[in-house]
Structure 1
């Protein structure tokens, strides 16, 4: 009898230990699941403007962007499902969905946020390049070194007393250099003034993004010059050169030649229409670009 009581007591103690252990394991698994969910939190931004949709997805420290030539929610959701594997309800729960009215002016806070986001993205990209500079081709290494010293911008006059920021937006088409393949071309680039000397104004490219079809190019760094001829019968000319990175992390060059319908000499307070020259304008050595453009001053 004493032995049976001893065995029963041991069984009860074992059960108690297992219950406690089981609870601890359950709590631990729950905690691990919560940490995993937190680490894998997905952010989705959807911006609809001018009949097109830009989608930005951040997941596990990776960012993916793509452009859709539609505003149909079902098509947008389907594209996000393909990228993330989430179902429709999960997407709708977490996405930041924004429709911008093309007939309304963007408010100051939105403009400032777009400028700062573009600048931060570009700075992050430059930092990434600097960290792996040993692996980069000699051309990019040289450009980064010249960018750091300021020599990249060439000869300049006195710095501007007040730095002004501008947005240059594009809408047009791209034609493959190797054949006649055509694609839509759109996007925007942000620049800020550096100096003006002898009718030449120099600007720093601070960021932006361009789409050729559904291929995204992040604008990393670059420069722009405006040459004012001082003749009302002669259009001012603009040359913009920038380094861009595609979704496969290939670093290539964007070169744009543009003309202005009005003189850009003096303070620019209203949007100015620009015309892109083709085939002088190209991206990644793969596409000739032909588009209308607009240069808009941004409130600081």
Structure 2
């Protein structure tokens, strides 16, 4: 058994391009890193990597994390500027014994010492989006926050290694130094090759309150299917958060166990990508109905074709 699952339709081409390597027996960590790098490198995906959405000061600060579920090695970076592939920096940090989570200038200096190039990651498009939003916030008193689609991926290889990873530019117009759930172990990601892996996307300030990626893996370890583990984890936490905090933001989870079975949970309209030894890379759409049920459907071929055509010519 082998497979991979990723948040959001932007992951599709990375999954397609790297899935052949997984079929051929490539290590899960190599597949995950390469698939996320494709998203980081492509400027049309404006919530991850190059061309991402800046903070309130117009600075692009990136977060990423990597976890090897066979060794429990973890590496993470947060608030890192000017380095194009934070997932690769995070993975490299996972090989250290100490100092595995670095932030801001410390993360950047580490990356540069390892040969990563410092470069301007803001595109004309992302800069213009920031300038437009700045004017709207000033003139119309609109909330600045928008656009926080994290790419999160779980990969299971033929040797039963499970890895998970995330990459994000975080909330659009976030405060300088703000960190969401994406680079936080247990919140944005978790992996245990004895059980499975999970990642999260959505409003980090709420997700980190529930340590939801760890909770999904824990419930899979108790015998729940990936789908049941994800959906009960989200539902139970939403109810508790509403009771204790009074509000609940957007949250979505994806997971896969060590049998290649997958699951998701969401409280918003959500897309994700799955590929296993039993199915080729497929984009799914999902949403929660008014009665609380989660509806999951394969994206129509025409919808996928239109999306792939559009993404090459406009920002997503």
TM-score (norm 2): 0.23
Higher RCO (CA-CA < 8 Å; seq separation 6+): 2
Name the one with the larger strand percent: 1
